[in-house]
């Protein structure tokens, strides 16, 4: 085989390799794009001791299990993931036993028994809950510190109650997170508005004591029964 022919074959091979690499990179980008757009869900478990949301759960040894404290009374879903993990919404069901853990307070974590295995579930904490007098939806999100005055739409309700204890979840709670989110920023009677040009499923705006309009970004919406 001549030197020129070898060079041509090498150039052809390298060209094909670069073309295929570009295709794979494009495909990977498309897959990632599709994956990022997928609505992944996790489970919320309601029981007589409160509401636990499985931001993450993993198996633990039986030696870590303390006492049986209840059963799952309700599975509330769908719920968007919060931690980047895709959790199986079929992992638990009403009737599965709930246990306390020897090394954790119930306010921190619990365990659920499934197929003779124990899964540790960490609790989602909220620094403040605002009960909306509409009483139908449970919004949870971060309140922006900026003023959303220009985005205020139709008034849809008022703050009915302020809940500091995250175990006492009720229908229509807006959960406020962040260092500035405390009961001093909102009061009973604070007005709640739609976000202009947005569906209510995407969030709401609450007027704070500072006179500013704070946006509650949408994380999840569940109708509590």
pLDDT in tens, 166-215: 434 333 334 433 323 344 466 777 788 888 887 765 667 878 777 888 77
Per residue, the 3-state secondary structure of 91-108, as one string, reads CCCCCCEEEEECCCCCCC
Phi, psi torsion values for 180, nearest 5 degrees: -90, -5
Q: Give me the sign of the Cα torsion angle 177, 178, 184, 185.
A: negative
pTM: 0.36
Distance CA 132, CA 218 (A): 15
Instruction: List pLDDT tens digits, range 132-151.
Output: 444 433 344 444 556 788 88
Is a pLDDT exceeding 60 seen at residue 109? yes
Kindly give, in sequence order, each residue whose CB lies less than 8 Å from that of residue 77, ignoring residues fewer than 6 positions away. Answer: 41, 42, 43, 44, 89, 222
Torsion of CA 164, 166, 171, 172, to 10 degrees: 50
Lowest mean pLDDT among 67-71, 79-83, 191-195, 206-210: 79-83
Question: Of all residues in the chain, what percent carry a pLDDT higher than 90?
Answer: 3
Question: Which pLDDT does position 187 carry in this prediction?
Answer: 72
Is omega for the bond preceding 78 within 30 degrees of 0, making it cis? Answer: yes
How far, in Å, CA of 187 to CA of 161, rounded?
8
CA neighbor of 140 nearest in space, from 53, 50, 48, 47: 53
The three-class DSSP label of residue 17 is helix
Beta sheet of 191-195, edge-to-edge order? 213-217, 203-207, 191-195, 152-163, 128-132, 173-177, 137-142, 220-223
Average pLDDT of span 106-121? 78
Per-domain residue ranges of the chain: 41-122, 128-223
């Amino acid at each position: 085989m001549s030197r020129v022919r070898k060079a041509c074959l090498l150039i052809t091979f390298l060209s094909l390799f670069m073309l295929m690499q570009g295709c794979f990179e494009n495909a990977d980008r498309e897959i990632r794009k599709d994956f990022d757009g997928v609505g992944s869900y996790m489970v919320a478990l309601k029981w007589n001791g409160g509401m636990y949301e499985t931001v993450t759960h993993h198996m633990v040894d039986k030696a870590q299990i303390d006492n049986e404290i209840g059963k799952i009374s309700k599975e509330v879903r769908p719920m968007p993931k919060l931690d980047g993990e895709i959790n199986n919404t079929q992992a638990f069901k009403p009737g599965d036993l709930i246990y306390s853990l020897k090394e954790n307070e119930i306010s921190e974590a619990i365990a659920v028994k499934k197929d003779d295995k124990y899964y540790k579930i960490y609790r989602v904490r909220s620094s403040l809950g605002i009960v909306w007098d509409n009483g139908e939806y449970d919004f949870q999100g971060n309140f922006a510190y900026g003023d959303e005055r220009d985005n205020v739409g139709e008034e849809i309700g008022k703050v009915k109650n302020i809940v500091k204890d995250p175990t006492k979840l009720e229908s229509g709670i807006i959960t406020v997170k962040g260092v500035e989110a405390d009961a001093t920023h909102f009061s009973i009677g604070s007005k709640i508005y739609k976000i202009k040009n947005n569906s209510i499923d995407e969030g709401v705006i609450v007027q704070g004591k500072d006179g500013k309009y704070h946006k509650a970004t949408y994380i999840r919406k569940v109708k509590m029964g």
